[in-house]
Structure formats: C-alpha cells, structure tokens
Structure 1
Amino acid sequence: MTDVVVGVDSSTQSCTVEVRTLDTGELVSTGRAPHPVTHPPVSEQDPEAWWHALIAAVRDATKDLTARVVGVAVGAQCHGLVAMDASGEVIRPAKLWNDTTSGPQAAALVAKFGTAWWAEQVGITPSAAITVTKLIWLRDNEPEAFARVRHVAVPHDWLTYRLTGRRVTDRSDASGTGYFSADTMTWRTDILTETVAERNWLPMLPEVLGPDDGAGRVTAQVAAELGIDGGAVVAAGGGDQHLAAQGIGLGTGDIGYSLGTSGVVFATTDRPVKDPTGGIDGVANVTGGYLPLVCTLNSTKVTDTIARLLSVDHATLSRLALSADRAPDRPILAAYLDGERSPRLPHARGMLAGLTTATSREQLALAGFEGVALGLVRGERLLSSHGIPTNGRTILIGGGARAAAYRQIIADLTGRPALTVEAPEGTARGAAIQAAAVVRGETVAAVTAQWAPRVTSTTDPATDRNDIWHRYLHLADLQAGGDTF
C-alpha cells in the first residue's frame, strides 16, 4: 500500500488540503472547505469552524484514497488570537490577523518602546495584526473573558492541538506573536508581563518545537473523525507564508510574492533581519533560518472590489488592465481599502487619484492591479535596502498569480521575469513537505530541495512602469500623518 502525507492550509477564507506520496511528493488529491466570511475592521472566526472545515477538506481529499496516511502538517493564517480557559475551551471567537480593532493598542506599544526596540527584541514591530496587541485589546475591552484565559495559541497551534492533544507550536509562527525571540528560542514572558498583565505566562504558552521535530500523532478519535489511519505522525506545522516558501522551493536570492487576501513579499536568509523602522517583519522560517517579509492587508480583494464595481469577472478585469492606455498621468490607487499594515495605517482608506473625464474603465482596472503591485514592490525595495539579495527568481503564488495582469505588472516594475511554479497551493504543499520530512527522518530543507516544483509560466518584462513610482509614493503617504479621508 502506498504511503501518503497530508498538507493542510487553514487560511482566512478556507481550508485546503493536499495529499502527496511520501516518497516522491506526487500530488494524489486535493480537498477544500470554506471558512466564515469576515469583514474588517472586525475580523473574527470561531475556531470550531476551522476544525469542521479541516475535517471536511480531509474527507474530501481522501474519499477515494486507497493509500495509507502516515503524516500530517498544518499551516495556517498567522497572528490570530485563540484564547482558552483552564479546560481548553475557546473563550470567544478568534481575532484574526486582519482585525484592525487593536490599532490603538499597537500604537501605544510602539509609542512606549519605539520601533527599533521591538525590532531588536523580537524582530517585529507591533501592528494591529500581531497577537500581543489582541491580548491587550481583550484585557481592555472584555476583562471578564481576559480573566479566564489560561492558554494562548495562534491558529495553527490550536489545530495541531486538536489533532494531537499537545500544546505545541513552531518558531515561524511563534515569531509573529510579538513575544517570542527566534534568536534565542525563548518566549519573552517579560514583554507580556510589562505590556499585558502580571500573570504566570509560561504555562499558558505552547512548547516551541524545532524545525524538524514531530508534534505527536493523530489521536484515535480524531483519526476516526478525519477518516484516516490512526497514529499518523503530525509535524510541527507553521505559518502560512513560511510553509508556502518551502512549497515553492524558495532559495537564497529568490523573492516570493504572495497574492491572496493579504499581499506578502518575502525572502529567505540565514541571518536575522531587524528593521528599526518597523517596515519588515523579521520572522523565522521553518528550516532554522529567517523569512523577512513585508505584509499588506490589501491584495486580491482590491481587484475583487474593482471587478465588482465594473461588473466584470476576474479574467475580463485582467484583460481590461492589460489593454489600458499607460499614459504617465493615468489614475493611480493607494490600495488601503481596509486600513493597512505596511505601512502601519490601520484607519487608512483607499485613495484614487488622477481621474479626468477621459478616464476609461480599462484604466480603472489597471489602477487596481498597479495599486496592489506597487505596494508590494515597495516592500521588496525595503528588503533590498537591508542587504537581502534579490538577484534570483521572482515567484508569484496565491490566487492572484493566475491573473496575467498581476504577472505582467510585477515583471515590469521589478525588471525581472515573473514566474509561477507547479505549487498552486504553496502552503499546503509546504506542509506536506514538512510532514514527509518528519516521517522520513530527514530535514525539511532536504525534502524541499527534492520536491522542487517545476516552472509553469514565465512572464518577461515588457515595459517600464516606474514612471508612476513617485506619484504613487506621494499618494500612498498622504495618510501617514494620521489624516483619513
């Protein structure tokens, strides 16, 4: 009987599962189930919905499977707060990464210590996205619920706990909480005591596993719920972007562009990156190194909105954008539709400039795609300014990577070919790689190299779009002083 592993991607929108063979990584089947829709600034989900979606997605992927499931790993949306009581019951719906209601708490943390202090201590500067700000929000707004908290987790920790009964995490997801030092592999309970409350924090936090460690085995009860063999090994899991980097085979010098609900530009290095301005999240990766990244709140949902306003489907929107007149004074969009994380402007709104009576629907479509891409390219240039090499491949992943307009615009703005690879579900694929590594007793890095995906498309630069760069920066920075429009 063939042995297979299951990689799970529990994202904001859905749970996606890939089943791959243990020996070669060949894709056997996939499954998917939706998560409840959220609407920032308040973005919350019941963790039980993630669990039911995981069960449904795994059952969907394994319904015709004759192979034996020997390994599982979970990647999930980062930062969200899952607060549990002493019995392990979830106290309230989880606040997700894109919930911006803790913006005031984040601002207070930055004001108290400064961005450079946070970058040096934990590699990441507080924004409304990260877990520590959500804990303070809970303390300030729901004191009775906060008083009941005895266990704190982020989404992938909680799902791994449901699979195995063990409270564990990995250094990639832990490094996005705001109270973990990846350099020293320690929880910074002193930060929690100083900023949140005087509590005995360490027993509330999960054990941090190494990159190639196992988290345990699927319990018999859970195996029955999932419809898989009992005793399958569960890997440490990780953050969604961190595992996506493994799924696409990101190497030194390569730059990844993730085009999903959020937009992320990221690279992999063997050294920590500490940006005193707070623009870069210097988080850990899942192989023992680091994954410096810049994350925006607004990516494909921006072009979803433009498509809705123009009453066209996504394929038509992409064609409209690519056929638009690229006059230097064309409309430009600062795509902060639901506030922004990079730069940290939780109350910002989108701004469209350059409209005239001659503005066409094609140009409006182009403004949507360019607005998203310009924000991410700004992030890449920030990474480069910190000495991170960008002379390798530019790899696009996520739903937006299917749009020819995104591929062409990013190629034009960077001056490098934009590639897609045979890893349409990068996080699920990366999770499967991690699961296989643990089952086989190898390193995640080694299996990543063995399972490197082939290139599926190459989009070469066709024109120079940097004629609007300074106009974009001027517009995008108008709200930096705190003004909203």
Structure 2
Amino acid sequence: MAAAPDSPLYLGLDFSTQQLKAAAIDGNLRVVHQDSVQFDCELPEFRTQGGVHIQEDKLTVTSPVLMWVKALDLLLDKMKRAGFDFSRVRALSGSGQQHGAVFWRRGASQTLNQLHPDQSLHQLLQGSFSVADSPVWMDSSSTQQCHDLQAAVGGALKLAEITGSRAYERFTGNQIAKLCQSRTEVYRDTERISLISSFAASLFLGGYAAIDFSDGSGMNLLDIRTRSWSKVCLEATAPHLDCLLGSPLPSSSVQGPVSSYFVRRHGFSESCAVLSFTGDNPASLAGMRLQQGDIAVSLGTSDTVFLWIQQPRPALEGHIFCNPVDRQAYMALLCFKNGSLTRERIRNECAGGSWETFSAALRDTPLGNNGNVGFYFDTVEITPSAVGVYRFDSEDSEVSSLSPQVEVRALVEGQFLSRRLHAERLGYSIIPGTRVLATGGASSNKEILQVLSDVFNAPVYTIDLSNSTCLGSAYRALHGLAAESGASFFDVVKNAPEPQLVATPHPAAQQVYDHMLERYARLEDSVLRKSCT
C-alpha cells in the first residue's frame, strides 16, 4: 500500500569517501526516494581521485571541504527536480566517513547563522574554513603524534582502555595534534573543529552541531566509559581543545530544528528536526539493525567484522565505539586485510580457478579439517600484525604444503577462527539468539557461509548492505523523535525487512571449534613470533 502523499518522511544522508547519498523512508520504513552525487565525475573541478587528494609523500590524504558543501547543493537540487517534497520530512540524520576533521575559521558561526536563501551553500561558505582540504581516514601522516599521545597517557594499551583504540594515524585527535604543531597560525584561526558527520549536521542546523558519542569514539580523545572528553588526551593533543570540540552528545539527540535557510530555499518544514549525525560504521550498525550478541561479517576485499557488545575489553587491535542506538552498549570493529583476494588466490591454486570446485572441497572435508590449520597473510595483516603463509598439521608441526582440498578448508576455517578469536578478545560472546549477518561478495557462496556458521556455532543470515549507512541514518532520524517518548530503536525498526537465513551450525560444530579456537590462539602466537623475526 503506497504512502499517503502528505505522510511524514525521514531523511538519511551519507557523506562517504567517494559520494554523497540520500535515502528517504516513510513511517512504515519503506524507501520512497534515493539519490546520490559522485564526487569525481559530477564535481570534476575539485580534481579528486576516489574522492581524495593524495599528496606527494603518499602519506597525506585529504578531501576538499567545499566539495562536500557543493555536493549537498547538487544533491538537494537533484531531489527537488525529481519531485521530492522536502516539506514532508519530519526529521533527518546522516553519517560521514569516520576520522575526517573540518576546521572552521573564526567568524564561521556567524556566517552559518545568517545564510541567505538566494545563494548556494557553496557560495556562502567559501571563506569559512581555516583548512581547505581536510585530512580523512586514508591519511597516515601523524605517526609521531600517535607516539606522543601514547607516551602521554601511559602506553598504547592504556590509551585503548580510555578511548577504545590504541593511537591510529587516521584518528582525528592525532590529525589535530599534527595541524597544531605544523601550522600553528591556522590552528589559532580555528573557531571550531567538527568531524565530517557533525560538520554535515552543522550545515542543516545553521550552527555548530555537537559531535555524537559514537563517531567521537573514533578520535582517540573520548573516554568511552564516561562518554566525555578525556582530559589527559585533550591536554596531550592541543591547547584549548575542549572549547574547539564542544561537548559531545548522545547519538539519538535532537540537536535542533532545520535552519531557516533550508526552509526558504528548499521548502523544508520549520518543525523538521535535525538528529545527531554519526560515523559511517555506526550508521551501518543501525542500518543492519544489529542486536545484542549479533555479529556482522562483511566478506569483501578486506573482511570487516561489526559487533554488538555489552562489556568491552579494549585491546591493541580493533576498535571499541559507543553504540549509536543503545546508550548502555558498545560496538566493536575489526578489519582483516586478507579477505577475498586471498580466497581467490587459493581458489586459483587449489581449485583450478573454479568456485564450484572450491565449494566442493569445503563439502568433502570434515569439520576441523583433521587438525590441519592454516594462516594466510598474503599482505601485512591488520589483525593481527603479521605476514606470510603458515600451515600446521594435527601435531602442531609446521608443514610446507597441504593437499588442495585440505588447503581450501584450512584457509576458510583459519579466516573465520581468526574473526571469532579477535572478536572474543574485544568482549564479544556468543549468547542464545546470536545471529551472524553476512554480506559482501563471498556471502553468495553457501559453503563458505556454512563454515562461518559452524565456526561461530550460530545461524548465518545474509543481508544487503549496499545502502546500510543511508538507511541507518533514516532509521535513526525516525528513532530520534520516538526516543523522546521512550521508544527503543528496535521498537521503531521492528517492521524493517528481515535478513534471510542461509546456514545453521552442524550439531558437532561447538565441540569441534571451541577446542580448535584455543589451539588456533596458541598457534597464532607462534606465527606472530615467526613473523617478527
């Protein structure tokens, strides 16, 4: 049944690396409009490749702030031409690529508050940024600042215990420290520092939006337990930083009504609420509707694992963020570089390039692979930090090769044992009702998903994440209004499309893989020692 022509809509936006996307849903969670702007091809004047500028040192990676502003102008104009009725939008929220920073020049708040509807945002905000090109998540030029921050707080693990992660070059606090040290005058001319998410929210508010708890967790600055800025981290980063960042707010906060600029220029309702924007990873968690005990596994070029956890155990690997849909919970994120490309290599070498033969090898070999285990780090792995290929037989003796079928299972079991091991080290635990949500290219292979189900001893469902950030943002916009009357996020999204069940664990899986996981952990330690020598 179609939505009534005047029924309320909820708008979600995503300022990602390569494009700006939007999705609008109605009160029944049906998507009624989608649109996007591709940065490279639709805004060629900014001369980006993949949405970024890579500097000569190959370490410094930035994006033009005004490109994001102009993309919003273009997106809203596209939507209006397509007949989208902005007056029906009751609330909006959004996400931004995590770890990017926007530095507002002194006087920018006054400009934001006095936007004239006869001009585009791009024209009005030309002089509002003290840094024209913002550092983004691909930047790795702040190594020294990472060392300094960890030293100031008492080491990498101590920093992880406070902020949820050890120091990372791409994290915003270290980017701020680098700017403060290398471009002091620019830092002094800065009135406010936003994340890309809170920058985007600021455009809609006509004033500075607060950083939300969840995206703020990706800065190496927020104490994830108190949900406030860590004084020791702020002091180690830059002077007066608390004033420049403002106070963080819960991810479900209504930050105010939409600016009169959008009412007069685009026809938004004066009562349209602007919810906190958050990072793209937290928004994806909302879009997937992950629940307590769930784990999402994206099987792509790299494999990414999202976790819903209650009691975090920050470690030197992976990240703990405040949960964007539950103020008492956390989310964890793990990234594994050796994903589908490694699976394709083993397919080529052991299955004649055929996925059918690869799948048959998984069907024809037993759970546990008769004790044969493999570690396949074709390139330097992120989790754990190791490189090389290591194979072990049932006696824990390293061997130079395995039969093709055994090699296939050793690869897939080893990858999923690694995902489970490192998830549990961050505080994840399998509970009754746990689901594994699989997405990405390899999620189309039922035999791979069966191994995933067996290793985690949980049912596996497939889910389409192609628009999870926008959907998550739209869901959060709807929830933000409902939360004021006490509704939970899951009350609001209970009628969203369900993921599809594709695999259930073998009855013997728990006995096999609980034992195998302990052994895998011991062997990984030996691999790390070998890899470091």
TM-score past 0.5 threshold: yes
SS at match of 2:248: strand
Counterpart of 1:192 (choices 234, 240, 250) is 234
Q: Give the Cα–Cα distance (whole angstroms) in 2 for the partners of residues 57 and 243 of structure 1.
A: 20
Shift of 1:158: 1.2
SS at match of 2:420: helix
8 Å Cα contact 1:401/1:420 also seen in 2: no
Corresponding residue of 2:305? 264
1:45 aligns with 2:63: yes
Shift of 1:471: 6.7
Specify the code of the residue in structure 2 equivalent to 1:48.
L
Shift of 1:321: 4.4
Corresponding residue of 1:247? 287
Q: CA RMSD in A?
A: 4.2
Counterpart of 2:175 (choices 134, 150, 166) is 134
1:291 aligns with 2:327: no
Q: Give the Cα–Cα distance (whole angstroms) in 2 for the partners of residues 19 and 242 of structure 1.
A: 19
8 Å Cα contact 2:149/2:237 also seen in 1: no
After TM superposition, list the pairs within 5 Å mapping 1:351-370 onto structure 2: 351-353=388-390
After TM superposition, list the pairs within 5 Å mapping 1:172-321 onto structure 2: 172-193=214-235, 195-197=236-238, 199-222=239-262, 229-231=268-270, 232-259=272-299, 263-269=304-310, 273-275=312-314, 277-279=315-317, 281-286=319-324, 287-296=326-335, 298=337, 302-303=339-340, 321=358
Specify the code of the residue in structure 2 equivalent to 1:426.
S
Q: Give the Cα–Cα distance (whole angstroms) in 1 for the partners of residues 38 and 463 of structure 2.
A: 24
SS at match of 2:225: coil
Counterpart of 1:382 (choices 422, 425, 434) is 425
Shift of 1:99: 3.0
Q: CA 1:107–1:215 in 2, change beyond 3 Å: closer, same or farther? A: same
Q: Give the Cα–Cα distance (whole angstroms) in 1 for the partners of residues 345 and 66 of structure 2.
A: 31
Q: CA 1:375–1:131 in 2, change beyond 3 Å: closer, same or farther? A: farther
Superposed CA offset, 1:299-349 (max 9, x none): 7xx4268769999xxxx9865643456677686422655x62x44x5xx6x
Specify the code of the residue in structure 2 equivalent to 1:71.
A
Q: CA 1:306–1:74 in 2, change beyond 3 Å: closer, same or farther? A: same
Shift of 1:293: 0.9
Corresponding residue of 1:25? 29
Over the matched positions of the two proteins, sequence identity in percent amounts to 18
1:80 aligns with 2:100: yes
Q: CA 1:308–1:332 in 2, change beyond 3 Å: closer, same or farther? A: closer
Shift of 1:204: 0.7
Structure 1: runs of 5+ lacking an equivalent:
none
After TM superposition, list the pairs within 5 Å mapping 1:446-457 onto structure 2: 446-452=488-494, 453=496, 454-457=498-501
Q: Give the Cα–Cα distance (whole angstroms) in 2 for the partners of residues 416 and 441 of structure 1.
A: 31
Q: Give the Cα–Cα distance (whole angstroms) in 1 for the partners of residues 468 and 442 of structure 2.
A: 12
Counterpart of 2:206 (choices 165, 168, 178) is 165
Q: CA 1:124–1:330 in 2, change beyond 3 Å: closer, same or farther? A: closer
Specify the code of the residue in structure 1 equivalent to 2:334.
C
8 Å Cα contact 2:439/2:465 also seen in 1: no
1:334 aligns with 2:377: yes
Q: CA 1:282–1:85 in 2, change beyond 3 Å: closer, same or farther? A: same
TM-score, structure 2 normalization: 0.71
Shift of 1:235: 0.5
8 Å Cα contact 2:293/2:435 also seen in 1: no
Q: Give the Cα–Cα distance (whole angstroms) in 2 for the partners of residues 41 and 473 of structure 1.
A: 35
8 Å Cα contact 1:6/1:71 also seen in 2: yes
Q: Give the Cα–Cα distance (whole angstroms) in 2 for the partners of residues 305 and 407 of structure 1.
A: 16
Shift of 1:90: 5.0
Specify the code of the residue in structure 2 equivalent to 1:184.
T
Q: Give the Cα–Cα distance (whole angstroms) in 2 for the partners of residues 143 and 443 of structure 1.
A: 46
Shift of 1:468: 9.5
Specify the code of the residue in structure 2 equivalent to 1:377.
R
Shift of 1:440: 4.5
Specify the code of the residue in structure 2 equivalent to 1:132.
G
Shift of 1:408: 3.7
8 Å Cα contact 2:439/2:464 also seen in 1: no
Q: CA 1:149–1:318 in 2, change beyond 3 Å: closer, same or farther? A: farther
Corresponding residue of 2:112? none
8 Å Cα contact 2:436/2:458 also seen in 1: no
Q: CA 1:309–1:60 in 2, change beyond 3 Å: closer, same or farther? A: farther
8 Å Cα contact 1:296/1:375 also seen in 2: no
Shift of 1:156: 0.7
8 Å Cα contact 2:372/2:410 also seen in 1: no
SS at match of 1:184: coil
Q: Give the Cα–Cα distance (whole angstroms) in 1 for the partners of residues 75 and 390 of structure 2.
A: 43
Q: Give the Cα–Cα distance (whole angstroms) in 2 for the partners of residues 248 and 443 of structure 1.
A: 24
Q: Give the Cα–Cα distance (whole angstroms) in 2 for the partners of residues 60 and 247 of structure 1.
A: 24
Shift of 1:164: 1.7
Corresponding residue of 2:131? 91
